[in-house]
Amino acid sequence: MRVLVTGSNGLLGTRLLAVLLQRPQVAVLAASRGPCTNRYLGEFPYFPLDITDSAQVARLVAAVAPDVVVHTAALTDVDRCEREPERAWLVNVRATEWVAEACARQGALLVHLSSEYVFDGQAGPYAETDPPRPLSVYGRTKLASEQIVAQRCARWIVARTTVLFGYAPGTRGNFVLWLLDRLARGERTRVVVDQVGSPTLADNLAEMLLALIEGGGQGIYHTVGASRLSRYEFARLAAAVFGLDTQLIEPVTTRELGQVAPRPLRAGLLTRRLEAEFPSVPVLTARAALERLRDQLAAVGQQVALRPTS
């Protein structure tokens, strides 16, 4: 099985490569912007790719002839999407359309990453069958990309996730690494108390995606961690797991924080379909996921790991 991962230099892309490289029956192909940043994982073909160039996308998929494309590349900065809607639409919608068309020509399975931001956060947690109603530009681009994938591909999976965290050298920082870095330096940190979601360890998400691919998944799945809690509660749990001072974490409301893009407040995703169809795949609680991350960081040296790259 030949699996092409777009956005392979990112956190999820890197952790997914690590999982795929453990499968001897999988030929791993990686594509991302710029030079490859995760050669430490092992040997695999790497292709520089600008997903906003439709011709590049078409040529690459035709040339490498994958059986599966896992499309992780996206513009996920929610506030930047709000400020730059044209860029968000190009990267998240048009580029996905080109990937979907290339997969359709190839007959490849397309696994597309989406988000809980397709919901309005009025009545979470949400199942796959609940009607989406995005509040932000980012959420609207992800919903539009989901619809394109379903329309253009005969074989497709949409994996919705949220509050992704984890560690991979050379990748951008994320909420947990940012938090741990500040707390380790004794800095007081404000965290929103009224945004509820389902924190997801990138390694666990990679395991879920592999289960969907190997198990013949089709359609929309919610692929998130098992716990549903506020960012503030999650931050305090992370501090406790890492032995840092929880008193440095100060609660703040979304209104007080003044974020550019509207957020779904009472969100979170249900994983009942995933667990029913793929009962062997682990769905980690927030504590178990944080403990797994703690062990990973200890293995590489905490002082290095607690400083996310910009």
Cite the active site residues: 138
Which residues in 116-222 belong to E strands, given as ranges?
156-161, 164-165, 189-192, 196-197, 200-201, 219-222
Q: Dig out the tokens for 58 from the structure.
A: 């078409």
Determine the length of the chain: 310
Taking the C-alpha atoms of residue 4 and residue 39, their distance in angstroms, rounded to an integer, is 16
Beta bridge partners of 222: 160
Residue (of 90, 73, 59) closest to 13 by Cα position: 73
Residue 187, judged by CB atoms within 10 A of its CB (0-12, 13-18, 19+), counts as exposed
DSSP 108: -
Kind of pairing between the strands at 229-230 and 196-197: antiparallel
Which tokens is 121 given? 């956060």
Contacts of 44 (CB under 8 A, 6+ apart): 17, 21, 28, 29, 30
Look at residues 67, 26, 69, 28 and name the one whose alpha carbon lies nearest to residue 51: 69
b or e along 123-141 (b: 16 or more beta carbons within 10 Å of the residue's beta carbon)? ebbbebeeebebbbbbbbb
